[in-house]
Structure 1
Amino acid sequence: MARKNLIGIFEPPAPDNSSAPAPTPAAPPAAQSSRPLAGMAPAVRSGVPVGGITRTLGSITQKMERAQDLERQLSEGLSVVELDPLLIDSSFVSDRMLIDGEALSQLVEQVREHGQQVPILVRPHPDQSGRFQVAYGHRRLAAVRQLGLKVKAVVRVLTDDQLVVSQGQENNARTNLSHIERALFATRLEDRSFTRDIIMAALGVDKAALSKMISLVRAIPMEIIDAIGPAPEVGRRRWTELSEKLNAGNIPKLLSSLQKGRAEGKTSDERFQLAFTQLSVKPADSGKPAQAQLSGLPVVMRKSGNRSTFVFDAKSAPGFDDFVSERLSELFAEFKRNKGV
């Protein structure tokens, strides 16, 4: 939700010059936990180990603290300028699979009615003079572009590390990135050779959670992830179960079903469920063993589970079954030698 008067500067009341004794000044508020805005505030490391659950920035309390940090730092004198949206490029690493059209339309109407209440964060473009690059605020930028307005922005000189940490932390605090989007963001950062420490700081996760995120993306073909989409209601456990059901044989048929589902207007969550259901259906068991004619031989091999049966054609090769039977010990000994048993 948009915040009004977010960047207003706090002005203390005028001092009372009467003879009454001055009141004792209130103690300053306790420092917020460190969540640097684009690296502008140094991180304060706690000496107490924090578990993966408590380090996650997705809770309501942490979101409120992050918003308060942003308000405080803006109120402490950071300059907000107006820029031409056409001069601003996206971040060099995407954290979203797509911008939801309905949510964007709602944001456009909010900006139309109330103006842009929260500035975006940009840096001077590292490669193109006179242009800028977004650290966060892609949806606000898209909404302002649609309205043909200038965008309110804080401009800071940022390293790549500072940009991705700010981008990730802001999304953790203010937006609802799905699990697979967070996992994709982590994987893209690793593919760009960012250290695990930087990625953990950006996503607010510990080493174990980060490893699971990256392993998940590596296990699912990218075309399947793209066909399903962000699936905002689907968490890590369900994505992991889906990855365990995938194999090279069922991917082409699954991809076709997902493309059909998209054409029919199914939502991303519905497409995920479509994929999960399709992969969960076990192939029908005919109850008959698999059968194969051995090429050029009067023998049929039948397989059922862990058992194999050879059926000899006594009519076309009389006595061949006895011939093979007499040499089974010799064949088995040769088999063991070849296997190194």
Structure 2
Amino acid sequence: MARKNLIEVSSADEVPTPMADIRPIAGFVAPAIRGAPIGGITRTLGNITQKFERAQDLEKQLAEGKIVVELDPALVDGSFVSDRLGIDRVELADLVAQINEHGQQVPILVRPHPQVNGRYQVAYGHRRLAAVKELGIKVRAVIRELSDDQLVVSQGQENNARTNLSYIERALFAARLEDRSFSREVIMAALNIDKAALSKMLSVVRVIPIELIEAIGAAPEVGRRRWMEFAEKLPKAKVELQAVLTSLSADNSSDQRFQQAVSALNSLPRITREGARTNLWGAKDKLVSVNVKSTAKKAVVTYEAKDGPSFAAYITGRLDDLYEAFRNSQNNQ
């Protein structure tokens, strides 16, 4: 008799036997299905991974200077090379008032201090740092890993764009960088100048004594041409440095002190190789100048400028009267 249904094909509406009702193979026990515990661990591991990735991203953004943080100003040191001849007290007072009213709108740039853990070093923003110190608040800053070259380039370029350093401050900054063995290429990049302009800046600073530059100050209204003229005239004048320094008044502005120094070169006694002393007098209208070179037994008077010859003739015609006045003054002493 033929056997039926040797190969059984289930119909579409046939309900399969549940797995739970199938008799297990002898010796084999199906593992229990775990739901919540494994899922919870997976989620926990996922959260840890996400937090670690966020921390890495935050650290990366901090290193790249993409995040503004607040720092205790007491932990922030100035740059290792100064680019200013002091901070103007009036300008600082204005900045303090502005930050006090509107907050610090522009963050400073710092780097982790290369020698001291937990401290920072300013690339730019010295005036803002000074202002928040006066206010007793934290300073908003961007922290960035910077080499020495990167720091001075950032410092110079930011100051060029924002704070308008005076010509002599820029020249002094260039000289200080060169004294620290920075390459000419780095210095030119920091100041955004070419080789010829850099050479002129350095020549000015190398001729004028640093004591005189610091005594004069930033002189923001005095440009390249006048500083170069001053540097050219100073060695020829051969006046005593202390005499020029004494002629400067601390009560005047730095621009006025520069003019005082120029006037001192024209009026102070000069020491020549022969030990002679020279005096120069100039009329206020600049139409006459008188140069007197004298030794123990001789004096040479030179009349220059537009009205020099006619003024000399005028003096010559009145020598009798002048000499008489001179003798009377000597007798009255």
Instruction: Bin the TM-score by the shorter chain.
Output: 0.5 to 0.7
Match of residue 318 from structure 2: none
Q: How far apart, in 2, do the equivalents of 1:110 and 1:201 lie?
A: 31
| Deviations 1:103-151, CA, capped at 9 Å, x for gaps | 1111111111111111100000000000000000001111111111111
Q: How far apart, in 2, do the equivalents of 1:252 and 1:115 lie?
A: 45
Match of residue 255 from structure 1: 245
Query: Is 1:235 the counterpart of 2:231 in the alignment?
Result: no
Match of residue 172 from structure 2: 184
Identify which of structures 1 and 2 has the higher relative contact order when contacts are C-alpha pairs closer than 8 Å and 6+ apart.
1
User: What aligned pairs does 1:1-341 form with structure 2 within 5 A after superposition?
Assistant: 78-247=66-235, 248-258=238-248, 261-262=249-250, 265-281=251-267, 283-284=279-280, 290=295
Q: Give the direction of change, closer, same or farther, for the CA distance of 1:191–1:176 in structure 2 (3 Å limit).
A: same
| Deviations 1:277-326, CA, capped at 9 Å, x for gaps | 2213471579797467xxxxxxxxx7979xxxxxxxxxxxxxxxxxxxxx
| Deviations 1:243-267, CA, capped at 9 Å, x for gaps | 2222443322111111xx11xx111
Q: Give the direction of change, closer, same or farther, for the CA distance of 1:288–1:109 in structure 2 (3 Å limit).
A: closer
Q: How far apart, in 2, do the equivalents of 1:96 and 1:287 lie?
A: 40
For 2:263, the aligned partner's letter is: T
For 1:104, the aligned partner's letter is: L
Q: How far apart, in 2, do the equivalents of 1:152 and 1:288 lie?
A: 61
Between 78-87 and 281-290, the greater mean CA deviation after superposition: 281-290
Structure with the largest fraction of helix: 2
Radius of gyration: which is bigger? 2
Q: Give the direction of change, closer, same or farther, for the CA distance of 1:289–1:242 in structure 2 (3 Å limit).
A: closer
Q: State, as a whole percentage, how many aligned pairs show the same letter.
A: 64
Match of residue 11 from structure 1: none
- Report the Cα offset of residue 176 of structure 1: 1.7
Q: TM-score, normalised by structure 2?
A: 0.62
Q: How far apart, in 2, do the equivalents of 1:250 and 1:147 lie?
A: 44
| Deviations 1:64-107, CA, capped at 9 Å, x for gaps | xxxxxxxxx99x98111111000000000000011110111111
Q: Give the direction of change, closer, same or farther, for the CA distance of 1:249–1:116 in structure 2 (3 Å limit).
A: same
For 2:100, the aligned partner's letter is: R
Q: How far apart, in 2, do the equivalents of 1:113 and 1:268 lie?
A: 30
| Deviations 1:224-277, CA, capped at 9 Å, x for gaps | 11111110000111111112222443322111111xx11xx1110011111112
RMSD: 2.4
For 1:183, the aligned partner's letter is: A
Q: How far apart, in 2, do the equivalents of 1:154 and 1:240 lie?
A: 38
Contact 1:120–1:137 (CA under 8 A) maintained in structure 2? yes
Q: Give the direction of change, closer, same or farther, for the CA distance of 1:287–1:194 in structure 2 (3 Å limit).
A: closer
Paired positions, count: 219
Q: How far apart, in 2, do the equivalents of 1:201 and 1:249 lie?
A: 37
Contact 1:124–1:155 (CA under 8 A) maintained in structure 2? yes
- Report the Cα offset of residue 223 of structure 1: 1.0
Q: Give the direction of change, closer, same or farther, for the CA distance of 1:129–1:278 in structure 2 (3 Å limit).
A: same
Q: How far apart, in 1, do the equivalents of 2:292 and 2:102 lie?
A: 68
- Report the Cα offset of residue 175 of structure 1: 0.5
Q: Secondary structure at the match of 1:193?
A: coil
Q: Secondary structure at the match of 1:107?
A: helix
Contact 2:279–2:291 (CA under 8 A) maintained in structure 1? no
Q: Give the direction of change, closer, same or farther, for the CA distance of 1:288–1:225 in structure 2 (3 Å limit).
A: closer
Contact 1:290–1:304 (CA under 8 A) maintained in structure 2? no
Q: Secondary structure at the match of 1:231?
A: coil
